[in-house]
Structures are given as structure tokens and as C-alpha cells.
Chain A
Amino acid sequence: MIELIEIVQHYGVRPVLKGVSLRIERGEVVAVVGPNGMGKTTLLAVMAGVLFPQHGEVLINGIKRRETMEGEFEIRKKSVYLPDKPWLPAGRTGLEFLLAVGVLYDVERERLMEHARRLLELFDLSRLGDSPIRTYSAGQKKKVALCSALVADAPLLILDEPFSGGLDPSGLLTLKRIIQRLARRHSSTIVLSSPVPELIEELATRILVVREGEIVAFETLEGLKGLAGHRGRLGDVLERFMFPDTHEKLECYFQEFLP
């Protein structure tokens, strides 16, 4: 369970998050959506404990982040944060990297070896598993980074743009199915950001819409449609929340430049 209470986050003068409060239950898949530069990544980083907000509290399973050494260590052992652009050890092979991550998370040795190999196989990286990561393509690097998040066996996954970064259709499908399985069968809590409405529609139990550092909506798909007063596709519904004046701007542009 994740709970954010009145989070205010600044990097400089401009506040990126303005008094954000929310609660995510165990086993939920929450998709964070919003326009660029409006606080999605910051929100995930605050949940993950990478950022220390200027105001407010973050609680994971009832434990306050950064309050005590034991509590924070416990949280870190049970959660994985994968930023949109992780940095991987270039000289290590994919398998070595996954093992190193698994060891950090105290994954049982036999399971770790087998799980790492199986994940590489799932993401079509078997042949590259023993090659240094620096030889991987962009998409393959993204895949091995995703494998690292999964090999940790953590019950809380915070994934920033997991479907971007050059994933091929097979990679997208594999990740989608694993996320669904983790949430449904293992009660894992997964918070992810993605700009692709079709993926969110399939995955998310609730959708969190962030705009200008505030929560505009935090609802199930049906709830969101009800709020928007629009029963169409999620893309259209989100557009009403995130870009209410886009249609108006487009009409104006067409009239002036593309009559």
C-alpha cells in the first residue's frame, strides 16, 4: 500500500507537485498519465524515495519513508524503482547484471539463477545473455532493464515509462502479460507511467491524471469516463482531462494556416 499525504515538491522556484495526496491499495495497477513536464516522473520518484519532498509524507505499507534506518531499508528491499532511463553496467553481461540485482534483493540463489535465465529467454535475450550490455541495441537495453525490475521479486514495482525506449511488439506483449499476472495472481502493487492509452486501458485498475502538479482525476476507467461525460475510447477521455483546449487550438490552426 502506498500513501502520499500533501506532497509538495520543488526543484527550484516552480513547484512541480502541489499538495498531492493519494492512496494506492495492494494489488492495484495504477497508471500515471499527464502532459509532458507536469510532474509524472517527479511523483513516481517521490513514491520511490529518490526525492525528498519539501512537504508531506510518503508511507509504504504504513512505514514512513526516510524516518528510520530500519524502516527505509525494509521499504527499499521490498520495492523496485525503474526510471525511464536507468544506467546499466556496460561491461557486465545481461545475466551478470540480473544476478547482481537479485543478490541485492536477497533473492534465493537457485531461484535467482533460474529466474534470470528464464526472463532473458522471455524477452528474446537468451543469445545475448552472456554478452556485455554495451553491445546491446537500445531496445535490448530497455528489455534487460525491465528484466532487472522483475528478477528482484519485489511486491511493489514503480516503473517510469516501461513501454517506451524501443521495445518491440514481443517485448510490449511480454511485459503487459507479466504485469497483469503479477497484479492478479501475486497481489503485487504496480505504479507505472505511460503515454499509450491502449496499454493503460488493458492494464490499469485505476488511472491517475496529473496536470500542473495536481491530481485532476484518480479513478477506474469507468469512473474516468463518467467524470468526463464521454463514453468513447480512453484516448478521447484523457484528452478532455489533459488537453481540454487542444480541439479549439487545432480548429484555429486549420482556419489560419490549412483552410
Chain B
Amino acid sequence: MNQNTLQEGWEVVIGLEIHAQLATRSKIFSGSATAYGAAPNSQASLVDLGYPGMLPVLNREAVRMAVKFGLATGSTVAARSFFARKNYFYPDLPKGYQISQYERPIVEDGSLEIMLEDGTKKTIGITRAHLEEDAGKSLHEGLANASGIDLNRAGTPLLEIVSEPDLRSAKEAIAYLKKVHTLVRYLEICDGNMQEGSFRCDANVSVRRFGAPKFGTRCEIKNVNSFRYVEKAINYEVVRQIDVLEGGGTIRQETRLYDSTKDETRSMRSKEEANDYRYFPDPDLLPVTVETAFIDAVRATLPELPDEKAARFVADYGLSAYDAGVLTSSRELADYYEAVVAVAGGPACAKLAANWVTGDFSGAVNRDGVEIADANVPAAALAGLLGRIQDETISGKIAKDVFEIMWAERALADAVIEAKGLKQITDTGAIESAIDAVMAANPKQLAEYRSGKDRLFGFFVGQSMKATQGKANPAQLNELLKKKLDAT
């Protein structure tokens, strides 16, 4: 679909509601484990099941993590916040209400900066972030006309992070979503695993004519579980809404589900019915008081944040803002990069290291789906490889081959270079004799070159390099070749 033409004259307005499962050991209101993938209902205690007589007791760690997020986003951490009940009936909601925060969330009024594709920065407002409990799951597979309810997830702590409607395209939405994703992992408050549902996103999407004073009617797209699908779902929804409006129709405020197989959003009829959640303060829980000392203690645990780290990478290593952004997109990658630089000899090789870490290394990590910590080429090993490039033992091109072998065999650079005989040839005599042989074997091309067909220089480079099995120092080879070819 061609969005540019379709979107002509229309402004897209997006706000995201992100649900980040907090990485606590136990649930927000009970002592049940939160581990993913346990046998059905094996982690559902009487509190999680909403048994008669059961009462919630708040997990300190969940509060600490929410405060940590608040501090990292420049938000206001409420000295007193309240829990409320959101009442509705659904099989995955055992008590018939969800304990959430409504009027007074623990975190309010913060922001994050995102970088757009053209390098400009934009500040996205964070309206609020509040604590709440997750629901269970309804399973349908293998059950005839029935659904099975697993309440292991019920009561897992969630931080719902609500943005202002500041996002103006799917790309901006993704940039923001990734930013939050990076941040919660830096803060170690969420594992960010979208597959397992630890990090989920609902998008509120509306469109309006440019210059229109009011936002259009929005639709909420529920639970899209990858960055790519969020982008596709928003783009689909934008086109759908514009189509409806241009066709003279109106947008109905509703919840829609993204179907990734059909790449479309569709109305969720089961949630159609007008909801009246009857929020009211939860009488089983008291006001949550966050004291200054508590905030200070949390502040002391804040790591260097992604933006701070990126700025430091630009300043200390002379990296481009883009490279710094990529390298700091995860704490593990940034740490890896810094370890490589430290071993490889400091800022002098910072740029080279950045290219390798964002290039071949990240490529291999993503291709094989491994954790950086488990990578076959640890930071010291990559630093070793970069050292051989710098001391011209091997060329950058050969280094790529060496890297692949190191990755495949968990080997060190020197061992690979030695075993495969990949050491770069820097001996002038050896290179010259290879060049001589090539010139002798290709008299026709030599004549053409010398009669002015400059383009054939490349041919001679290739042939000469081939004659040295690619091991000749490229700069030396170029220089010697030029001298010999041009010597008439």
C-alpha cells in the first residue's frame, strides 16, 4: 500500500499503552512464583484464584521497580498513590475485578526522547505508569466447545506505561516502543520478552485532517506481540480509518485485534459491549506511601541510562549518534562494545570496534539467536581479531572470514590465522612477483590498460589478490600494481 498518497492531508495520532511485566520473583499481591511456562495452575495460589477470604499484600519489589522507571523517565513519583478495582467479568479474571491504579498512579508526567530516521529528536510525553495485576490465560486447543483457564499468570505484576498521544507515525511509535523496551531492560525491571508476553503493547490510533482542532475518534489495537506487527497493525489501521472517513463514514470507538496472518485489524466483538468498569478504591489495600528515603535509595541503584551512555559514546569514542544509538540499544551490547574497546587498545580503535560490533558481531548474534553473554566470540576474542587488523597481520576482508571461523568454532583469531595460513603478505618482493606473473599472463589486458582503459586496473587488482589467495596487503598491492602498470 502506498501510504504517502493515501495519507495525503491526514495527520496520524498514536498513543501507546505498554504493559511491562515486572521481573519480580513473586506476584504483586501473593507469594506465588512468576516463572513462565509452568504447568497449568501450578503457580496459582488461593490469592491468585480469588478464593473467598483471601486478601492482597503488596510486593515491595514491584513498587521499587515502578519508582525506578519513574526516576528514569523524569516522572513525578507520587508520595501517596492508591489501588482501585476495575470491575468486569471474564474467565481469566478470577476475582471479577482487576486491582489496578486509577485516579492516583504511582508514576506520572514523565517523558522519553526518541530519535527519528532523519536524526532529529522528539520528546514523547509519558502520561502515567501504574501498577496492576496481570490476568490469567484462556486456552482453547484440544477442548471441544470449552475454554480452559490457566491462572498462573494471574497476579503477575504489570507496569502499564501510558504515553501521551504524541506519536505521529507508525515509525515514531516503533521508535518509542523500542526506547521503552531498551529502558526497562536497562533498569532490569522487565525481561522484555515479547514472545512470552512480558512486554506487550496496545496502540490507540486515530487520524484527523491536518489542522483539525480535535483528535479523531480512536481505535485501540490490542496486544500486538512484535515490533514489526505493531508497525504493520498501525499502518493498516491508519489506512482503514482514512478509507472510512474519505468514504464519508465515521470511526467507531472500539477495540480491534491485529491478525498477523491476514495483516489486518478487526473488531473484537466479545469486548464490544459498552464497558462500565465501576472503578473504586480497593478497600483491601491502603494508600501506598513512597518516602523520600525510599526514592533516594532507588535512585542510587539507577544504572547509566541509554541516552547518557549514547552521549558518552559520542564524546569519548567519537562515534556517530547513530552508531552510539545502536550500540546502546541494549545494556549487554553496550557493555560488550566497551569491553572490546578496552582490550583492543582504547579509543584509537573505537570506530573500528563499533563497525564490527554493530556489523558482523550483531549479525551473527541475531542470525543464531544467541545471548551476547553466550556468544562464541567473547569481547576479548573480538578485540584480538581487531588487533590483527590494526597490526596488518590480516586485511579487513580476510578478517571477516576469520570471524566466521571464530564464531563457528569458538576459536581465537591468532589460531585461525595460523591454522588457515591467512597471514597477510606484506613482503614487497612476494607481492611484486605475484603482480609480475599476472601481467605476464594477461598481455592483452595490459596493452589495453596502457592504451588508456583505466577501468582494467580493477581487473589487475583482483587477479593479483587471487594470486596471493587474498592475503596481500591491499594498500601495498594497490601501490605496487599502480607503479608497475604505469611504468612504461
Q: Do A and B come from one complex?
A: no
